[in-house]
Homo-oligomer: A and B are copies of this chain.
Amino acid sequence: MQLYFNPASPYVRKVRVTAHELGLSDRIELITLSLTPVSPHDELRSRNPLGKIPALITDDGAVLYDSPVVCEYLDALAGGHRIFPVPGGARWTALRRQALADGIMDAAVLIRYEQAVRPQELRWQSWVDGQFLKIRTALDALEQEHLESAFDIGTISIACALGYLDLRFAGEGWRTRRPRLAAWLGAAGQRPSLAATAAPAA
C-alpha cells in the first residue's frame, strides 16, 4: 500500500498510528508531499479529487480517503474491530470522539491557513477567534471525559489533535487549565505508535 504523507499533518498521523497499532506499518510506503488549498498537488488530485491527505492506495489499486475511512479500512484488513469497536455504545463514543478531534484539527488548520498562508492584509481576527472558540470548548469537554478506558480510533484521534496543537500553537498553553487531559496525553504519548509518529519540531 502507498500513503500520501506529510509529517506535520495530524490527519495522516492518525493513519500512521492506526497502522502501527495494527502491525501494518511495514506494508505501507509513504509518498511525501506538501500542499495547501492555494498550492494544490496535481498527482494527488488525480488520486483524491479533493487534493487532501491522507489518501491510501490499496494493494488492489483502489484509492481511499479521508482519514476515518482509511483507518477503518486498515482495521478491517487487520481482522476488524480492534480500533473501531463493534456497533454499540463503545463505537458511538469512539466515533464521536474522532469527530471531536477531527473538528479540533479542522479549526486549527483553518487558523494556520489564516495566519501563515493568507496575505497579511486579508486576515480576519473574528474568524481566528471563532475557530479558537471551537478548540477551547472542545478541550474543556475532553477534560471531562474518561479517556483512560480506551485506546481506539477516538483516543488515537484525540492524541493526534493535541499533538498538532503542540506543534503549531504551543504558545496557547492548552494544558494550563486541563491537567487531566495533559496527564492523559503524557501517558498515552509513551505508546510506541504515538512516539514513532510525532511530528518534527516546526
Contact = CB atoms under 8 A, between A and B. Distances in A.
Given A122-B122, A126-B38, A138-B50, A103 B66 contact: yes
A103 B69 CA distance: 13
A127 B127 CA distance: 15
Contact of A87 (B51, B80, B96, B119): B80
A169 interface: no
Interface string A13-46: 0000000000000000000000011101000010
Q: How many copies does the complex hold?
A: 2
Contacts of A130: 36-38, 40
Contacts of A127: 37-38, 118
A46 B96 CA distance: 15
A10 interface: no
A114 B131 CA distance: 15
9 contacts: A37-B130, A37-B134, A49-B138, A49-B141, A52-B103, A68-B95, A69-B92, A80-B87, A122-B124
